[in-house]
Amino acid sequence: MVWFTVVTGIATLVSLFLQVSGLLGEKRKYLVYSTCFLVGLTLGLLLNIAFSVNVSLPVTTTPKQLLGLLLFSATGLLAFILFILTVVVEDEGRRKAATVGASAVSSFLLFLLVFFLNSFFG
């Protein structure tokens, strides 16, 4: 099951790359549905793996740590949604805007991780 998840994740990343890069031209519309299916399958498999594991943390969490976790996860989810929008949107101008937005949100997430990781989780 783990190897299937890894292979599905790699196929998803390759199809996302092909969608975003625009290498397919007019054949791009045929790959949209399979890319969305692979993304859903990969997320379902990862959630299945995540929920089948029992995790017990020996430390208590503080409100500052919960705020940091919420901030990082919301920013990561927003970047993921914007990258998925670059796959689904057919209009070239809107797709480019979604790609720029996803890159900006990803850069902001990297900025948060580099500069504020220690203040939230240190």
Quickly list DSSP for 61-121: PPHHHHHHHHHHHHHHHHHHHHHHHHHH---HHHHHHHHHHHHHHHHHHHHHHHHHHHHHH
Residues 38 and 95 in one domain: no
pLDDT at 122: 65
Is the pLDDT at 26 greater than 70, yes or no?
yes
Is the pLDDT at 33 greater than 70, yes or no?
yes
Q: pLDDT band for position 13 (50/70/90)?
A: confident
CA distances to 88, 96, 97 from 91, in Å: 9, 9, 10
Is the overall model pTM greater than 0.75, yes or no?
no
Nearest to 101 by CA among 67, 78, 74: 78
Query: What's the domain count of the chain?
Result: 2
Residues 14 and 36 in one domain: yes
Residues 69 and 119 in one domain: yes
**Residue range(s) defining the domain that contains residue 10:** 1-56
